[in-house]
């Protein structure tokens, strides 16, 4: 029998914190009520929020230099589902997982779907992988995949994406996320527009194979591994591709995939305006695609992104239905702790952005009251909504203090006994 955190243990740990939680919740409730905000409405809102966890996120990641495996890390998709189940059990904000193929390949996907359901999990967007060669693969992706100059290589990459759609259909997903590493490292290596044209030819086949209720998410990335030119490098390229493909193609924003200091929230606003925002890969960064924990470096930026999202939601912007996912690489922390902390930071930004009085903000903006507009936004950001998040978790049967409870449960130590390392596990350098 594999170890699981029991409902009794969870209840007993929560019981120790309930009085303090009630006190903090009431104090915040009084403060918000003076500002004309109902804390109950905010808690209910927090309870509706959900963000998907990537299956590759529960493994230890790595840099281009090294990987330092953690004890008891998952060895396969079954172990990964178990860990993802714990993250949701304690936070109650991550009910779905985003799988990656071929990393998560199994023989029977109906069985996998049922297995996930036993962990109270469903499947979110399916991610294809044509950025590395798999054992026995006929054509190499060293010089590109969906945009490769050789048609047979492109078709192999297309076939893989079609297979991902088929797998996703069996798992109950309704979206395919396509990120390619294609590009060039030397001026003169590749014809910039011919590569884009080939991308369009390949993606058209994938697009035409989408089931009616499916979307394809195009994920852009500025650089790495293609340091001179990347085919889908920015939101302009992904937007152009999505526009040409049609209504089922949208642009995915990974927060780490922009040049430093880029105004990401404005990109989000523009994509919302165009009805082309697919959703997010949340993470944080200092320099580039650092894949650090969400909200760990620049929580204000995360909040400003949610400011745009909540604004769009409340004014019921046409075609607005973003998919929320985390995409991080955990190198020096326990991935379960990082993912729980990140999911809570993302939910925090959502609730903080919900505190803003939109009418008051519009009036300040239209009236040219710069300082008032800024203060309205800033006041929401500096409000500590932790008691609301804890209350939302408590009411949904989660943990008041997820990381504290996880640590005292001994989960990782138990898994270290249950999961002897296997040769060749490299759960995701992403």
219-238 binders of ligand AFD (CB under 6 A): 219, 221
Query: Is residue 100 near Mn ion by the rule CB under 5 A?
Result: no
Query: Is residue 184 near ligand AFD by the rule CB under 6 A?
Result: no
Binding mask 324-343 for ligand AFD (x = CB under 6 A): ---x----------------
Spatial distance between the Cα atoms of 339 and 295, rounded to a whole number of angstroms: 11
127 binds, among ligand AFD, Mn ion, none (CB under 5 to 8 A by kind): ligand AFD
Q: What residues form DSSP beta bridges with 279? A: 252, 323
Q: How far is the CB of 325 from ligand AFD (least distance, A)?
A: 9
Rounded-to-5 percentages of helix, strand, coil across the chain: 50, 10, 40
200-219 binders of ligand AFD (CB under 6 A): 219
Stretch that binds Mn ion, among 72-80, 95-103, 157-165, 273-281 (CB under 5 A): 273-281
Spatial distance between the Cα atoms of 351 and 231, rounded to a whole number of angstroms: 36
Q: How far is the CB of 283 from ligand AFD (least distance, A)?
A: 8
Query: Is residue 124 near ligand AFD by the rule CB under 6 A?
Result: no
* Tokens encoding 19: 């009085």
Q: Report the residue from 327, 334, 345, 401 that binds Mn ion according to the rule CB under 5 A.
A: 327
Query: Is residue 281 near ligand AFD by the rule CB under 6 A?
Result: yes
Query: Is residue 124 near Mn ion by the rule CB under 5 A?
Result: no
Q: How far is the CB of 82 from Mn ion (least distance, A)?
A: 23
Q: How far is the CB of 1 from ligand AFD (least distance, A)?
A: 33
Query: Is residue 250 near ligand AFD by the rule CB under 6 A?
Result: no
* Residue 261 near residue 244 (C-beta atoms within 8 A): no
Query: Is residue 179 near ligand AFD by the rule CB under 6 A?
Result: yes
Q: What residues form DSSP beta bridges with 218? A: 178, 251
- C-alpha distances in Å from residue 119, one per residue of 348, 365, 388: 25, 47, 25
Q: Report the residue from 73, 79, 254, 293 that binds ligand AFD according to the rule CB under 6 A.
A: 254
Q: Report the residue from 13, 82, 254, 265 that binds Mn ion according to the rule CB under 5 A.
A: 254
* Tokens encoding 279: 């959703």
Phi, psi of 189 (to 5 degrees): -70, -35
Pick between residue 57 and residue 85 the one whose CB is nearest to ligand AFD: 57
Please report where in the chains the tokens 């710069």 appear, as a residue.
Answer: 370
Query: Is residue 141 near ligand AFD by the rule CB under 6 A?
Result: no
Buried b (16+ CB within 10 A) or exposed e, 359-386: eebeebeeeeeeeebeebbeebbebebe
Pick between residue 56 and residue 207 the one whose CB is nearest to Mn ion: 56
Q: How far is the CB of 325 from Mn ion (least distance, A)?
A: 8
Q: At CA 229, angle to CA 228 and CA 231, rounded to 5?
A: 160
The helix (run of H) or strand (run of E) holding residue 343 is helix 335-354
* Residue 96 near residue 50 (C-beta atoms within 8 A): yes
Site residues for ligand AFD per CB under 6 A:
127, 179, 219, 221, 254, 281, 289, 327, 430
Give residues in contact with Mn ion (CB under 5 A).
Answer: 254, 281, 289, 327
């Amino acid at each position: 029998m594999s170890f699981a955190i029991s409902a009794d243990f969870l209840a007993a740990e929560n019981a120790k914190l309930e009085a303090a939680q009630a006190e903090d919740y009431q104090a915040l409730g009084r403060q918000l009520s003076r500002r004309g905000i109902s804390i109950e409405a905010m808690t209910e809102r927090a309870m509706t929020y959900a963000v998907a966890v990537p299956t590759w996120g529960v493994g230890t990641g790595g840099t281009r230099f090294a990987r330092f495996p953690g004890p008891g890390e998952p060895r396969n998709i079954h172990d990964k589902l178990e860990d993802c189940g714990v993250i949701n059990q304690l936070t109650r904000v991550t009910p779905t997982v985003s799988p990656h193929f071929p990393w998560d390949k199994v023989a029977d996907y109906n069985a996998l779907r049922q297995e996930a359901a036993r962990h109270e999990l469903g499947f979110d967007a399916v991610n294809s992988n044509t950025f590395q060669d798999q054992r026995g693969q006929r054509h190499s992706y060293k010089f590109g995949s969906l945009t490769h100059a050789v048609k047979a290589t492109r078709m192999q990459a297309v076939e893989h994406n079609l297979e991902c759609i088929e797998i996703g259909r069996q798992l109950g997903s309704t979206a395919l996320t396509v990120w390619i590493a294609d590009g060039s490292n030397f001026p003169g290596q590749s014809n910039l527009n011919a590569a884009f044209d080939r991308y369009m030819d390949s993606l058209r086949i994938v697009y035409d194979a989408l089931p009616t209720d499916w979307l394809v998410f195009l994920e852009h990335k500025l650089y790495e591994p293609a340091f001179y030119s990347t085919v889908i490098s920015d939101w302009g390229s992904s937007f152009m591709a999505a526009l040409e493909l049609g209504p089922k193609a949208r642009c995915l924003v990974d927060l780490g995939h922009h040049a430093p200091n880029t105004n990401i929230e404005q990109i989000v606003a523009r994509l919302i305006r165009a009805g082309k925002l697919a959703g997010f890969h949340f993470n944080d960064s200092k320099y580039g695609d650092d894949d650090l924990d969400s909200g760990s470096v620049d929580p204000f930026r995360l909040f400003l992104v949610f400011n745009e999202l909540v604004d769009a939601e409340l004014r019921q912007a046409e075609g607005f239905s973003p998919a929320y996912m985390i995409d991080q690489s955990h190198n020096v922390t326990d991935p379960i702790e990082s993912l729980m902390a990140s999911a809570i930071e993302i939910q925090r930004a959502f609730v903080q952005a919900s505190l803003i009085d939109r009418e008051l903000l519009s009036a300040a903006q239209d009236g040219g009251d710069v300082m008032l507009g800024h203060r309205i936004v800033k006041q929401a950001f500096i409000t500590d909504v932790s008691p609301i998040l804890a209350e939302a978790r408590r009411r949904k049967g989660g943990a008041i203090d997820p990381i504290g409870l996880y640590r005292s449960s001994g989960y990782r130590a138990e898994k270290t006994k249950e999961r002897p390392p296997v040769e060749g596990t490299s759960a995701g350098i992403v």
